[in-house]
């Protein structure tokens, strides 16, 4: 019997629309729903999170 890994199930990135099979990332704060691919996480989500942190620090 072949073992099926959950990570191998294709999922659709809610940011770029690409199908991907790697571990899904949380697209917050760019999206509240769905999952995003590693590429979008690295190029879009993480920079946005850093921006939010800096913004918050600026207010303090
Ligand atoms: Zn993507």
Q: For the residues of 12-46, what is the DSSP string, one character each?
A: EBTTT--EE-S--B--TTT-SSSBB-HHHIIIIIH
Q: What is the pLDDT of residue 9?
A: 83
Distance 59 CA to ligand 1 centre (A): 31
Domain that holds residue 38: 6-59
Dihedral (CA of 29, 40, 18, 7) sign: negative
Distance 5 CA to ligand 1 centre (A): 21
Backbone φ, ψ for residue 9 (5° rounding)? -75, 125
* Tens-place pLDDT, residues 15-60: 999 999 999 999 999 999 999 999 999 999 999 999 999 999 987 6
Domain-embedded: residue 1: no
Distance 12 CA to ligand 1 centre (A): 8
| Total tally of structural domains belonging to the chain | 1
Domain-embedded: residue 32: yes
Q: What is the pLDDT of residue 59?
A: 75
pTM of the full predicted structure? 0.78
Domain-embedded: residue 53: yes
């Amino acid at each position: 019997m072949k073992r099926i890994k959950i990570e191998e199930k294709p999922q659709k990135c809610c940011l770029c629309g690409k199908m991907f099979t790697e571990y899904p990332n949380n697209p917050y704060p760019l999206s509240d729903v769905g999952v995003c691919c590693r590429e979008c996480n690295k190029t879009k989500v993480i920079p946005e999170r850093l921006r939010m942190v800096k913004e918050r620090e600026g207010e303090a």
